[in-house]
């Protein structure tokens, strides 16, 4: 298993224009601890918008430098929820991907004429998303350097990147030295400025103030930075803003005044997405906060089934109020629909400051000229090796296209 990595590494260092001094012995450590039970995790980027409800995602080409865990331990993380069921999450720690496979893919596409399944996407420099499931800047990267090596490789090939992180470590010199502000867009996740609440939600993540300080450094250096206020937790029970329902109950999860604080730390763009939780996650958060989340829901939604969610009208009001605050401080606003379903992609577009991109990167960074939404759905299925017959792929493609067209028309007509 490890001999393949060593062979790849030797071949690439001899053949590629990029030269690496990466220490492969880290894989020996993980192997010795029996943490590669299914082999070294693949270093190949994946398309997440092939068959999921993320079909409208602009940056669906994604990779994580570490998998099967994250030390930030966010209570609301859906990856944590899913992988915990199969005992794969932090058991006992995240593991590194095969960085030689990642390097070999870019080498093959940019330095040879050999065929590759991802050539059509990567050759166009379709932006790569890093950090969807596991934070790339966990403290462990100080020791194992997989994220650092990935950034070096991407920088060598002038490849555009969207980075998602909750970590202040991103502003360490060794990372900044290999990140080009013309190629790298950075999204810093910050669900709340309430230190106590954030510590309960994300017990292993850096504090909000450390993230704000990192945001200021990145902004001052000219990086296109976005704060992800996601998940957005409500202040009042459902109906306060949309139906003027009076309530003596309120939380300090979020404050509209926090938008001014983000401005003071150089926030250029704010992306928000309303919280939705499964039952088991609700119980975890309720145990930590001593707040009954179910009591905040409307009676109608309680009757519809399990999970924590708010009415569409209330979510919309939060978005409108946040946008108003953003306008006061010249912060661009957008929303994220992932996890809420495709209707949310269409219904809130009128609030976006950048109608061409819900992540608000296109037209802000010149290197972001293409995206995964441009890839025909049937091609996404083929690239992702989805087990469907030719007919099934065509049928799925037709259905997805029809559904999107139908939803678009519905929300266009409602404006």
Which tokens belong to 278? 């499964």
Q: What's the angle, vertex CA 164, arms to CA 111 and CA 121, rounded to 5?
A: 30
Phi then psi for residue 39, to 5 deg, are: 90, 170
pTM over 0.75: yes
Q: How many domains does the chain have?
A: 1
Answer yes or no: is 408 within a domain.
no
Answer yes or no: is 398 within a domain.
no
Answer yes or no: is 415 within a domain.
no
Could you give the CA distance from residue 267 to residue 226 in angstroms, rounded to a whole number? 6
Structural domain for 194, as ranges: 2-375
- Residue 347: how many CB atoms within 10 A of its CB? 22
Answer yes or no: is 248 within a domain.
yes
| Predicted pLDDT at 376 | 84
Which tokens belong to 190? 């910050």
| Predicted pLDDT at 391 | 79
Put residue 330 in one of left, alpha, beta given phi > 0 → left and psi -120 to 50 → alpha. left
Could you give the CA distance from residue 115 to residue 155 in angstroms, rounded to a whole number? 23
Q: Is the distance from CB of 272 to CB of 319 less than 8 angstroms?
A: yes
Answer yes or no: is 34 within a domain.
yes
| Predicted pLDDT at 176 | 99
> Taking Cα atoms as reference points, which of 306, 278, 304, 282 lies closest to residue 293?
282
Could you give the CA distance from residue 198 to residue 204 in angstroms, rounded to a whole number? 10
Phi then psi for residue 112, to 5 deg, are: -135, 175
Residues 6+ apart with CB under 8 A from 101: 8, 42, 43, 44
Could you give the CA distance from residue 121 to residue 329 in angstroms, rounded to a whole number? 37
Which tokens belong to 121? 């996407």
Could you give the CA distance from residue 272 to residue 261 in angstroms, rounded to a whole number? 16
Put residue 34 in one of left, alpha, beta given phi > 0 → left and psi -120 to 50 → alpha. left
CA 76 and chain centroid, separation: 14
Q: What pairs with residue 63 in β-bridges?
A: 130
Place of tokens 């990192």: 214
Q: Is the distance from CB of 46 to CB of 372 less than 8 angstroms?
A: no
Q: What is the mean pLDDT of each run of 10 residues along the chain (415 residues)?
A: 90 98 96 91 89 80 97 90 87 96 98 95 97 97 98 99 98 99 98 93 96 98 97 96 92 95 98 91 87 92 90 96 98 89 87 96 96 86 78 81 81 73
Long-range contacts at 48-52 (CB < 8 A, ≥ 24 apart): 48/132, 49/372, 49/373, 49/380, 50/377, 50/380, 50/381, 50/383, 50/384, 50/386, 51/381, 51/384, 51/386, 51/396
Q: What pairs with residue 226 in β-bridges?
A: 187, 269
pLDDT tens digits, one per residue of 370-383: 999 888 888 888 87
| Predicted pLDDT at 182 | 98
Cα end-to-end distance, the chain, whole Å: 57
| Predicted pLDDT at 53 | 67
Answer yes or no: is 411 within a domain.
no
CA 12 and chain centroid, separation: 30
Could you give the CA distance from residue 340 to residue 357 in angstroms, rounded to a whole number? 17
Q: Is the distance from CB of 361 to CB of 127 less than 8 angstroms?
A: yes
Q: What is the full DSSP assignment across 345-392? A: HHHTGGG-S-TT-TTS-TTTSTT----GGGS-HHHHHHHTT----HHH
Instruction: Supply the CATH number for residue 84's domain.
Output: 3.80.30.30
| Predicted pLDDT at 415 | 62
Long-range contacts at 89-94 (CB < 8 A, ≥ 24 apart): 92/35, 93/35, 93/69, 93/140, 94/66, 94/67, 94/68, 94/69, 94/70, 94/134, 94/138, 94/140
Q: What is the full DSSP assignment across 132-169? A: SSS-TT-TTHHHH-HHHHHHHHHHHTT--EEEEE--GG
Place of tokens 């404006």: 415
| Predicted pLDDT at 365 | 97
Q: What are the angstrom distances between the C-alpha of 405 and each of 47, 131, 335, 337?
A: 22, 30, 20, 17
């Amino acid at each position: 298993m490890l001999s393949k990595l060593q062979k790849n590494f030797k071949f690439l260092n001899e053949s590629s224009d990029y030269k690496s001094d990466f220490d492969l012995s880290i894989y020996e450590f993980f192997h010795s601890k029996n943490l590669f039970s299914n082999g070294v995790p693949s270093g190949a980027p994946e398309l997440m918008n092939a068959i999921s409800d993320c079909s409208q995602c602009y940056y669906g080409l994604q990779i994580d430098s570490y998998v099967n865990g994250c030390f930030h331990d966010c209570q609301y993380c859906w990856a944590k929820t899913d992988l915990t069921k199969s005992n794969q999450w932090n058991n006992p720690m995240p593991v590194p991907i095969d960085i030689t496979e990642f390097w070999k893919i870019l080498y093959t596409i940019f330095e040879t004429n050999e065929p590759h399944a991802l050539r059509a996407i990567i050759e166009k420099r379709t932006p790569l998303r890093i950090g969807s499931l596991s934070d790339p800047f966990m403290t462990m990267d100080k020791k194992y350097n997989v994220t650092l090596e990935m950034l070096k490789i991407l920088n060598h090939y002038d490849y555009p990147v969207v980075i998602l992180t909750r970590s202040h470590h991103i502003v360490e010199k060794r990372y900044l030295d290999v990140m080009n502000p013309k190629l790298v867009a950075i999204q810093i996740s910050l669900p709340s400025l309430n230190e106590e609440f954030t510590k309960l939600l994300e017990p292993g993540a850096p504090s909000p103030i450390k993230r704000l300080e990192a945001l200021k450094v990145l902004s001052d250096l000219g990086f296109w930075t976005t704060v992800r206020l996601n998940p957005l937790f409500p202040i009042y029970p459902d109906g306060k803003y949309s139906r003027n329902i009076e309530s003596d109950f309120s939380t300090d999860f979020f404050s509209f005044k926090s938008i001014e604080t983000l401005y003071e730390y150089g926030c250029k763009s704010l992306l928000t997405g309303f919280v939705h939780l499964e039952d088991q996650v609700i119980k975890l958060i309720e145990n930590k906060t001593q707040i009954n989340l179910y009591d905040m829901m409307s009676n109608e939604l309680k009757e519809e089934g399990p999970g924590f969610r708010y009415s569409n009208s209330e979510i919309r009001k939060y978005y409108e109020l946040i946008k108003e605050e953003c306008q006061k401080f010249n912060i661009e606003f957008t929303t994220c629909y992932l996890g809420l379903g495709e209707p949310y992609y269409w219904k809130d577009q009128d609030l976006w400051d950048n109608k061409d991109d819900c992540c608000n990167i296109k037209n802000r960074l010149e290197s972001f000229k293409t995206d995964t939404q441009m890839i025909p759905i049937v091609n996404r299925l083929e690239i992702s090796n989805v087990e469907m017959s030719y007919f099934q792929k065509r049928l799925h493609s037709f259905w997805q296209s029809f559904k999107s067209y139908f939803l678009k028309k519905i929300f266009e007509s409602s404006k």
